[in-house]
Amino acid sequence: MRWPPPHKIRYSKRAKNVSMRIYAGSGLEIVIPERKKNVNVINFLNEHRNWIEKHAQQFTFLLPNHSDQKTLPEKIVLTAVNQSIEIHYRPINATTCVSYRAVKNKIIFYGAITDFSVCVPAVIHCLKKQAKKQLGELLNQLSLECHLPYQKLSIRAQKTVWGSCTAKKNIQLNYKILFLPQTLARYILIHELCHTIHLNHSASFWKSVARFVPDFRAQVKLLRKADQLLPRWLV
């Protein structure tokens, strides 16, 4: 890994201590309290080098040097389903509006495109439709393999929940699962399918999960940090 790695510094009025996080969409971000602006960032990176290298390797990506929502990405990679969406931009100076057209694995934006933030709502709408189709197919496949039937699938945009299951065996999945590794996405779907027979996290529930995901403890550990795998404009 290149050292020091590419990183972004963000100053915060609320932060009490210097901290850092790794995002798949924007790389390493260091948060510095406003009152500690004179902190030596290189020393901080050197002191935490083992942590940085460990987590960069754990999530199987090198620290990229991407910027924030002002960047206009040309492609959105959906790791969970091994697909990608191309993003095209057609600026039009004569209008103050932004419109789009979605075709197969492609979104084309037209109008006053100042930065990517104006495109995000449309992208999320398309991602939800993609999740309904792609995650739905995967859920059906796993349901048959595990002999765990469910009733209905709906796609949501929860901030802190990856999925849920009701007493009527209706499953809700977060569209952001599309950005997770395939093994982690599979674990989440099987987790919810197991809730069709155990509406709790009892020993019996985890025993059911272990039948289909023997390394579920490792997946649970990864899931706690999964937001670091999301594009920065979704976090």
Give per-10-residue mean pLDDT for the chain (235 aa).
Answer: 73 87 71 86 86 68 46 87 93 86 92 85 94 97 98 92 96 97 97 97 97 96 88 77
pTM: 0.72
Whether 215 maps to a domain, the answer reads yes
User: What pLDDT, on a 0 to 100 scale, did the predictor assign at position 62?
Assistant: 41
Pair 154, 185 in one domain: yes
Pair 172, 189 in one domain: yes
How many domains does the structure of the chain reveal? 3
User: What pLDDT, on a 0 to 100 scale, did the predictor assign at position 1?
Assistant: 57
First to last CA, the chain: 25
Pair 81, 109 in one domain: yes
User: What pLDDT, on a 0 to 100 scale, did the predictor assign at position 160?
Assistant: 83
For 12, list phi and psi in degrees, rounded to 5: -130, 135
Cβ-Cβ contacts under 8 Å for 54 (sequence gap 6 or more): none
For residue 94, is it left (φ>0), alpha (ψ between -120 and 50) or beta?
alpha
Pair 228, 141 in one domain: yes
Pair 135, 223 in one domain: yes
User: What pLDDT, on a 0 to 100 scale, did the predictor assign at position 69?
Assistant: 55
Pair 132, 218 in one domain: yes
- Cβ atoms within 10 Å of 191's Cβ, excluding its own: 23
Bridge partner list, 165:
171
Pair 112, 133 in one domain: no
Whether 41 maps to a domain, the answer reads yes
Pair 134, 222 in one domain: yes
- 3 state DSSP class of 156: strand
Bridge partner list, 19:
31
Bridge partner list, 176:
none
Which residue among 89, 104, 122 closes a domain? 122
Burial of 9 (0-12, 13-18, 19+ CB in 10 A): middle
Whether 57 maps to a domain, the answer reads yes
Which domain covers residue 14, as residue numbers?
A: 7-66
Pair 152, 141 in one domain: yes
The whole-angstrom separation of Cα 202 and Cα 191 is: 12
User: What pLDDT, on a 0 to 100 scale, did the predictor assign at position 158?
Assistant: 87
Q: For position 206, which CATH number holds?
A: 3.30.2010.10
42-63 in b/e form (b: 16+ CB < 10 A) is: eebbeebeeebeebbeebeeeb
Pair 145, 156 in one domain: yes
Whether 200 maps to a domain, the answer reads yes
Whether 53 maps to a domain, the answer reads yes
Which residue among 66, 94, 110 closes a domain? 66
Pair 16, 40 in one domain: yes
Pair 151, 88 in one domain: no
